[in-house]
Amino acid sequence: MKIICIGRNYGDHVKELGNEVPDEPIIFMKPKSALLQPHTPFYYPEFTNELHYECELVLRVCKNGKYIQERNAGQYYNGITVGIDFTARDIQEICKQKGLPWEKAKAFDNSAAVGKFLDLTPDQKKANFTFKLLSNGTTVQQASSADMIFKFDSIIAHISNYFSLNIGDLIFTGTPAGVGECVVGDELEAFLGNQSLLKLEIK
């Protein structure tokens, strides 16, 4: 499996990091070794001094495909959850300044935390999904899929022009505003609607 991530997909987050609004989805990937399953501890990586959380809606791919049409994209995912795209922001800034790839900042071990997946019916896929992240009990990120610049179907169609989608792949669909630093001892909890699907402590 692979983990495909979308960058800069919410206008307010694009602004907070001083980036430009993209005219097509920004894609990066994380390897399988980046996946942090539910109920697994997350250890603060020793190579960074500025670890950030990015809470995102995550889709689970259920069908193999390539060159998927936007109108058929709904058939290619069947589950949703919330996840955290852990980012070594200090390393990413260096990579961006030097025009280097982001993998050291984004694709390290356990950098893709996912919650428990909920199965989706075709009708549910048409709805908007609200989600939020709490850090030590305080809401730090809150958004709706309606706020995304590129919606699920458009993301899937775009990705599949470059990368075959395979059953079990995960798609992180981008983070809204409110990204911030986490330190050892912090407790992060992510909700889809009112349902808590992901909870972890930074060790």
Enumerate binding residues for Zn ion (CB under 5 A).
Answer: 54, 85, 175
For residue 194, what are its two tokens? 């009112």
Tally of CB atoms within 10 A around 71: 9
Maximum separation of any 2 CA atoms in the chain, in Å: 45
Q: Which residue is nearest to Zn ion (CB)?
A: 85
Amino acid at 43: Y
Min dist CB 45 to Zn ion, Å, is 16
- Closer of 171 and 202 to Zn ion (Cβ): 171
8 near 177, Cβ under 8 Å? Answer: no
Min dist CB 27 to Zn ion, Å, is 11
Min dist CB 153 to Zn ion, Å, is 19
Min dist CB 9 to Zn ion, Å, is 8
Closest CA to 70 of 8, 161, 5: 161
85 near 102, Cβ under 8 Å? Answer: no
Rg (CA), the chain: 16
125 near 48, Cβ under 8 Å? Answer: no
- Closer of 86 and 117 to Zn ion (Cβ): 86
Min dist CB 174 to Zn ion, Å, is 6
- Residues whose CB falls within 8 Å of the CB of residue 2, separated by 6 or more in sequence, listed in order: 29, 30, 31, 32, 163, 166, 169, 170
- Closer of 60 and 106 to Zn ion (Cβ): 106
Query: Residue 197, by phi and psi: left (phi above 0), alpha (psi -120 to 50) or beta?
Result: alpha
CA 156 and chain centroid, separation: 14
